[in-house]
Amino acid sequence: MGKTILLATAGEAKAPICVSAAADRVTRFAASELARYLKRMTGASFRLKKVPSSGPARLPSPALLVGEGALDRSRAGHG
C-alpha cells in the first residue's frame, strides 16, 4: 500500500488544491466542488491554487492536483 497523506487535521487543511491557470470552466468547477466536499467532510477550508500554465512553477507537497495542466506540471518535475 502507498504512503498515507493527511489532508486535514483539527479543521486545518494540509494540502492546497492545485489547478492550471489555463484550466477550462469544467476543471475549475471540479476543483471548487472538491474543495466544497472536503470542507464538508473535514471542516477545513481547502485553498485553490492556480498553477501557471507555462514557465517555472513550484507545486507544494502535498497537493491535490485537478486537471491535466496541474498534473503535467507535476510530471515535468516542477514541484
Q: What is the chain's pLDDT, residue by residue, as a tens digit (79 residues)?
A: 788 888 999 999 999 999 999 999 999 999 999 999 999 999 999 999 998 877 666 788 889 999 987 666 554 554 4
pLDDT in the model for residue 56: 63
pLDDT in the model for residue 60: 84
Residue 3 grid cell: 504512503
pLDDT in the model for residue 73: 52
Amino acid at 2: G
pLDDT in the model for residue 36: 98
Euclidean distance between CA atoms 58 and 71, whole angstroms: 12
